[in-house]
Amino acid sequence: MRGLPTYLLASLVLAGLVYAHGFNSYWMHVTIIAMFYAILAASWTLLSGYAGLYSLGHMAFASIGAYTSALLIQWTGMPTILGMASGVVFCTVVGAWIGWVCLRMTGPYLAIFTLAFSEIVRIVFSTEDEVTQGMAGLHTVFLFHTDSRIPYFYTAIGLLVFSLAVMGFIVHSRWGLFLRSIREEEQAAAASGVRVAYFRILVFAVASGFAALAGVFYGHYLGILTPSLGSLDLMIIVVVMAVIGGMERIPTAVGGAIGIEFLQEYLRAYGEWRLVIFGLVLLFTMRFARNGLLTPLWLQFVRLGEVRRPVSAAAQAAAAAGEVGPQGSGGS
């Protein structure tokens, strides 16, 4: 993210920090959850939108990270921050292992494998009552010992900015180019010298780590964890957020996640009908805007930030040609 998009992000963050005290508790909670989904949608987009690896086990890593952090703190008494970091590191390693196991899998085979992995994780957390408290829920240590949501709001903004900065650096580096080449044609990428196996494992590890980052924050924000965190229902919500926003670009996926979360709250008064509305929006997106509803707006915005440079360069080239032309003709 460079130029005008970076300034926009900085402006939004600054506005959020300045006006946070003006939010009521309910909408601040909605905003925090929206940023939780934004990290998940962005990391899933990194895996699926950029590398073409369509995983349905993303929420499983959020769940594993959250439970790992909560249980380590409960068993060892380690500081909360260290427990959260341990959950992220553990999920990064597990994600790399899943990426290695799935090296030969693509398309529906990869989706089914990761879905099965996710269901195994959810069932284990549901049935191991002595360890995870099952469906009753595992109580976690709150990240901050205060009744105010302000510290959580600031932390959520910090985690989202950090996640976007790291993932933005990845997709704008040579790694991002390699990931897109794997998405377009894996065999051609390998023939061109791209280490396909290495980058598939790497992107699985990075995406899983960011999913765990969202999960550990979620667990220590709410104060309780249930196996539903890794359910297929939440996985579908994350996918829908990324697809409606635009799954081929991280900013549009983030916009889709935040927009859908706020839309859910506005439509909550309509009960189950809000799901019908989401279905219609998804059908409209897949039929008329397969790159996402926010992608055209984002591309126009990016071009707005880049419009001056081409004009200036063209003007300089024209001026240089005008200066050289008469001299050349006069010399001959």
Question: Which residue has better confidence, 293 or 119?
Answer: 119
> What is 201-241 written as a DSSP string?
HHHHHHHHHHHHHHHHHHHHHHSEE-GGGG-HHHHHHHHHH
Q: What is the dihedral of CA 9, 13, 15, 16, to 10 degrees?
A: 140
**pLDDT tens-digit readout, 236-253:** 999 999 999 888 889 899
- Between 128 and 3, name the one with better pLDDT: 128
pLDDT at 82: 95
Q: Is the pLDDT of residue 8 over 90?
A: no
Contact residues for 82 (Cβ-Cβ < 8 A; gap 6+): none
pLDDT for 184 equals: 87
Q: For 22-75, what is each residue's pLDDT tens digit?
A: 677 888 899 999 999 999 999 999 999 898 899 999 999 999 999 999 999 999
**Per residue in 197-246, pLDDT tens?**
999 999 999 999 999 999 999 999 999 999 999 999 899 999 999 999 88
Q: 326: pLDDT confidence band, cut at 50, 70 and 90?
A: very low
Cα–Cα distance, 97 to 117 (Å, whole number): 12
Assess whether pLDDT exceeds 70 at residue 1.
no
47 in Cβ contact with 55 (< 8 Å): yes
In 3D space, the residue among 298, 264, 254 whose CA is nearest the CA of residue 35 turns out to be 254
- DSSP letter, residue 51: T
**Residue 78: left (phi > 0), alpha (psi -120 to 50), or beta?**
beta
More confident residue, 8 or 218: 218
Going along the chain from its start, the domains and CATH numbers come out as 4-307 (1.10.3470)
**SS3 state of residue 139:** strand
Residue 107 confidence (pLDDT): 84
In Å, how far are 4, 11, 28, 144, 238 from 23, measured between CA atoms?
27, 18, 6, 19, 25
CA-based Rg of the chain, rounded to a whole angstrom? 23
- Average pLDDT for residues 296-302, to the nearest whole number? 79
Query: What pLDDT, on the 0 to 100 scale, is given for residue 242?
Result: 92
Query: Which residue is associated with the tokens 């780590």?
Result: 209
CB 161 within 8 A of CB 9: yes
Its pTM stands at 0.86
Note the residue count of the chain: 332
| Calpha distance 52→185 (Å, rounded) | 10
Give the pLDDT band (50/70/90) at residue 321: low
Rounded to an integer, what distance in angstroms lies between the CA atom of residue 193 and that of residue 187? 10
% residues pLDDT > 90 (the chain): 50
Per DSSP, what are the bridge partners of residue 138?
225
Q: Supply the pLDDT for residue 166.
A: 93
User: What's the pLDDT at 64?
Assistant: 96
Angle of helix 196-222 versus helix 174-184 axis, rounded to 10: 110
For residue 203, give every residue at least 6 positions away whose Cβ sits within 8 Å of its Cβ, in sequence order, or none. 46, 47, 50, 51, 53, 99, 179
What pLDDT score does 248 carry? 85
**pLDDT higher than 50, residue 323:** no
How does pLDDT run across 130-184, given as a tens digit for each residue? 899 888 889 999 999 888 888 999 999 999 999 999 999 999 999 989 999 988 8
84-122 as b/e: b if 16+ CB within 10 A: bbbbbebbbebbbebbeebeeeeeeebbebbbebbbebb
Which residue has better confidence, 312 or 18?
18
